[in-house]
Amino acid sequence: MKLLTAFSLALFNVPTATTASYTPPSSNYYRCLTDTEASAISTALANGETIDLFPSKAQSDQSSYWEVEYHGTYKILRNTQPDVNTTYLLYQCGLDAPVVEEKVDGIFHVPFTGGLVVTDTTQIPFIEILNRRSQIVAFAVPENLISSPCLVEDIIPAGKEDGTITFLPLYNDTALDSFLKEHNRTLAFGGPWDENLTMKNKVIISSVAESPALAAEQGRDVNQAIFEWLEVYGAFFNEEHLANETVEETRARYDCHTENAMIVAEERRREMLEEDKSRLPLVLWAYHMQDYNGTDIGWDVGECPNYYCTYASNCMVNILNSTEGSVDYYGYTYMSDDEFLEFGKDADVWIYPSSNWNSLVTQKADYLSDFKSVQNMEVYDYQLSGESAWFEQRMAEYDNVLLDFCEVAKRDIDPTHGRKWFRNVYIEGVGSLGACSDPDEPYMPRVTECLKLEENGGGADSYSSSGYTSLGKTLVAWLLMSLVSISVLW
Ligand SMILES: *[C@@H]1O[C@H](CO)[C@@H](O)[C@H](O)[C@H]1NC(C)=O
Ligand SMILES: *[C@@H]1O[C@H](CO)[C@@H](O)[C@H](O)[C@H]1NC(C)=O
Ligand SMILES: *[C@@H]1O[C@H](CO)[C@@H](O)[C@H](O)[C@H]1NC(C)=O
Ligand SMILES: *[C@@H]1O[C@H](CO)[C@@H](O)[C@H](O)[C@H]1NC(C)=O
Ligand SMILES: *[C@@H]1O[C@H](CO)[C@@H](O)[C@H](O)[C@H]1NC(C)=O
Ligand SMILES: *[C@@H]1O[C@H](CO)[C@@H](O)[C@H](O)[C@H]1NC(C)=O
Ligand SMILES: *[C@@H]1O[C@H](CO)[C@@H](O)[C@H](O)[C@H]1NC(C)=O
């Protein structure tokens, strides 16, 4: 009976509806709704119509720690990292904030047009890819750790001068909280290790907490999982479409490079002497740790699973990894010099994930000369794009990191790829990210497109001295095809 009444009322309402009626949008709104649009939607909702203002949606595929639920006029974003467990309500701007039953830790209109506070440099490329650089109003990170050329050269100097950009002290919740209270149309992106996870107007982003162990266990890829957080940022700006497209394109390149690495590894294997065929290149991932006043602590060595272990597996090489070590420093384990020499001396390649190689070499030249990688000058740090860029930008370019890793590990997949991150400490200088071309343009990750190599059955090529036989063939095929299409055009 009730249903029937509602139904008749709905029918009755149709002819009396005013001029505006709800038309489902074909893409998410990049603006607030007008009053007319908003009232048409309220009417449609009251009539029981199904509304979907967000045809483009975010969906986690590789990430473990986020989900977005769509409810027509609003979204519920959950950070599901066990130690975080926060929920945010994002509603279409121009409508009133809906009342929801569950407890939420923050309410934001979308697209969010207020100011943004950065509390970790890893947040920067995500904001820049979505072209929201100009919305940044504060940084709770030291200025000298920021690498983005457009922020460093344009936005920050201009903003400091006209007072539109503030630098807040690092890890100081009191200072951040009072800034957010003073600037109440501002959203801070926080991190999973923040002391206060439920500060008003702060959203916890757990990209860097994505668990390599969980990913390995579930057959997912932790590098992809981290980058997929772009879709979470996207949800705040109704940019789900752009975010998904960028995530998918990056994933496709990464997957394609990974498949090529298998083919290259197989080619290298065929070139090897019979007795060496079971031996894969061996990578050492380790750096030397000192305390604040320069006293030796020990060697921090790679532990698997971890993101760099995923790179090693994808490049079809082995990585030395260990949790052992006799040095204990504030609960962390390090190897002594003797232990580390025994552990790492036979590695073919040494990736040194720190920026202090030069000072180390002056202190320990003799000791280091016993390492095979040092003898062969196969030592790389992460400074080819600058001293801090690795921490800020590499997660947004994880496909380039893969190519770099494979190349230094003797699995050069693509000879056209110019290394971006790993710097040979003997022959290359510390690099930079280059200059900002236009601060109003989105950040475009540096891309090496993937040309799929063809699988090669072996035989004639087995003893080829060229590592790029397959690539050569593909290139020739491609050139021929282009010639054909050109002649057709002519
Ligand atoms: C993301 O893009 C891919 C490829 O274009 C598409 O197949 C997929 O459905 C999109 N995902 C969502 C959640 O829209
Ligand atoms: C997450 O928080 C909600 C309340 O906000 C609670 O009901 C739920 O049990 C929590 N889940 C976990 C896994 O802690
Ligand atoms: C945090 O910042 C406030 C100013 O907002 C300052 O008074 C306080 O001393 C700072 N706390 C620490 C631990 O530095
Ligand atoms: C934001 O601050 C302004 C004053 O600067 C105040 O009028 C307004 O009520 C505040 N809004 C909220 C939601 O606290
Ligand atoms: C977190 O910050 C909010 C203010 O934004 C405050 O009300 C709350 O008590 C803080 N929680 C903790 C655990 O400090
Ligand atoms: C070095 O720093 C530690 C604290 O990290 C301190 O205990 C020690 O006295 C310092 N040593 C020297 C020689 O300054
Ligand atoms: C980590 O080390 C173990 C031996 O300690 C080795 O079996 C394993 O393959 C290494 N992991 C990777 C990803 O190479």
The stretch 256-280 carries a mean pLDDT of 88
What's the pTM? 0.88
Please tell me the distance from the alpha carbon of residue 226 to that of residue 207, in angstroms, as a whole number.
5
The stretch 420-435 carries a mean pLDDT of 96
Q: How confident is the model at residue 19 (pLDDT cuts 50, 70, 90)?
A: low
Ligand 6 touching residue 330 (CB < 6 A): no
What pLDDT shows up at residue 10? Answer: 42
What pLDDT shows up at residue 277? Answer: 73
First-to-last C-alpha distance (Å) of the chain:
73
Ligand 1 touching residue 57 (CB < 6 A): yes
- Token pair in block for residue 415: 């000879």
Q: How confident is the model at residue 140 (pLDDT cuts 50, 70, 90)?
A: very high
What pLDDT shows up at residue 454? Answer: 87
pLDDT digits (tens, 9 = 90+) for 386-398: 999 999 999 999 9
Q: Answer whether 89's CB lies under 8 Å from 74's CB.
A: yes
Q: Is pLDDT of 17 > 80?
A: no
Domain 54-248 and domain 280-453 have a common topology: yes
Distance (Å) from CA 293 to ligand 6 centroid: 6
Q: Is pLDDT of 489 > 50?
A: no
What pLDDT shows up at residue 457? Answer: 53
Residues 6 or more apart whose CB falls under 8 angstroms from that of 312 comprise 283, 318, 319, 405, 409
The stretch 238-252 carries a mean pLDDT of 98
Among protein residues, the one with the nearest Cα to ligand 1's atom 1 is 244
Q: Answer whether 86's CB lies under 8 Å from 206's CB.
A: no
Ligand 3 touching residue 174 (CB < 6 A): yes
Ligand 6 touching residue 295 (CB < 6 A): yes
Report the range of poorest mean pLDDT among 76-85, 182-191, 285-294: 285-294
Please tell me the distance from the alpha carbon of residue 242 to that of residue 23, in angstroms, as a whole number.
23
Ligand 6 touching residue 437 (CB < 6 A): no
Q: How confident is the model at residue 46 (pLDDT cuts 50, 70, 90)?
A: very high
User: Quick one: which of 355, 431, 446, 443 has its CA closest to 123?
Assistant: 443
If one residue of 171, 174, 199 were mutated to test the ligand 5 pocket, choosing by the most ligand atoms within 8 A of its CB, it would be: 199
pLDDT digits (tens, 9 = 90+) for 465-477: 333 434 443 443 3
| Residues within 6 Å of ligand 2 by CB | 82, 85, 103
User: What does the domain layout of the chain look like in residue ranges?
Assistant: 54-248, 280-453, 454-490
Q: Report the largest interatomic distance among the alpha carbons of the chain, rounded to a whole angstrom.
A: 91
Among protein residues, the one with the nearest Cα to ligand 3's atom 11 is 172
The CA distances from residue 355 to 289, 370, 387, in Å, are 11, 21, 7
Among protein residues, the one with the nearest Cα to ligand 3's atom 2 is 175
Ligand nearest to the CA of 101: 2
Distance (Å) from CA 64 to ligand 5 centroid: 26
Assign domain 280-453 to its CATH architecture.
Answer: 3-Layer(aba) Sandwich (3.40)
Please tell me what DSSP assigns to residue 369.
T
Please tell me the distance from the alpha carbon of residue 168 to that of residue 119, in angstroms, as a whole number.
9
What pLDDT shows up at residue 283? Answer: 98
Ligand nearest to the CA of 176: 3
Distance (Å) from CA 397 to ligand 7 centroid: 25
Distance (Å) from CA 189 to ligand 4 centroid: 20
Distance (Å) from CA 200 to ligand 5 centroid: 7
What pLDDT shows up at residue 63? Answer: 97
Q: How confident is the model at residue 425 (pLDDT cuts 50, 70, 90)?
A: very high
User: Quick one: which of 134, 114, 98, 132 has its CA closest to 201?
Assistant: 114
What pLDDT shows up at residue 21? Answer: 82
Q: With pLDDT > 90 as the criterion, what percentage of the chain qualifies? A: 82
Ligand nearest to the CA of 243: 1
What pLDDT shows up at residue 462? Answer: 33
Ligand nearest to the CA of 97: 4
In this structure, how many other beta carbons lie within 10 angstroms of the beta carbon of residue 334? 20
What pLDDT shows up at residue 456? Answer: 67
What pLDDT shows up at residue 468? Answer: 40
Please tell me the distance from the alpha carbon of residue 106 to that of residue 338, in angstroms, as a whole number.
52
Q: With pLDDT > 70 as the criterion, what percentage of the chain qualifies? A: 89
What pLDDT shows up at residue 370? Answer: 98
Among protein residues, the one with the nearest Cα to ligand 6's atom 2 is 293
The stretch 222-237 carries a mean pLDDT of 98
| Nearest-5° Cα angle at 94, 89 to 95 | 60
Q: Which atom of ligand 7 is nearest to the CA of 317?
A: 14
Distance (Å) from CA 178 to ligand 5 centroid: 11
CATH of 54-248, one of 3.90.25.10, 1.10.10.10, 3.30.70.3450, 3.40.50.1980: 3.40.50.1980
Distance (Å) from CA 241 to ligand 1 centroid: 8
If one residue of 117, 166, 172 were mutated to test the ligand 3 pocket, choosing by the most ligand atoms within 8 A of its CB, it would be: 172
Q: Is pLDDT of 311 > 70?
A: yes
pLDDT digits (tens, 9 = 90+) for 90-139: 999 999 999 999 999 999 999 999 999 999 999 999 999 999 999 999 99
Please tell me the distance from the alpha carbon of residue 34 to that of residue 40, in angstroms, as a whole number.
10
204 or 486, which is more confident?
204
Q: Answer whether 90's CB lies under 8 Å from 235's CB.
A: yes
pLDDT digits (tens, 9 = 90+) for 170-210: 999 999 999 999 999 999 999 999 999 999 999 999 999 99
Ligand 1 touching residue 269 (CB < 6 A): no
**Average pLDDT score, the chain:** 89
Among protein residues, the one with the nearest Cα to ligand 3's atom 3 is 175
Distance (Å) from CA 184 to ligand 4 centroid: 6
Q: How confident is the model at residue 487 (pLDDT cuts 50, 70, 90)?
A: very low
Distance (Å) from CA 245 to ligand 1 centroid: 7
Ligand 6 touching residue 292 (CB < 6 A): yes
Q: Taking the CA of residue 19 as centre, how many other CA atoms within 13 Å lie in the half-sphere pointing to its CB?
A: 1
Q: Which atom of ligand 7 is nearest to the CA of 313?
A: 13
What pLDDT shows up at residue 481? Answer: 38
Among protein residues, the one with the nearest Cα to ligand 6's atom 1 is 293
Is 28 strand, coil or helix? coil
Burial classification of residue 250, based on how many CB atoms lie within 10 Å of its CB (0-12 exposed, 13-18 middle, 19 or more buried)? buried
pLDDT digits (tens, 9 = 90+) for 324-360: 999 999 999 999 999 999 999 999 999 999 999 999 9
Helix (H) or strand (E) holding 488: helix 469-489
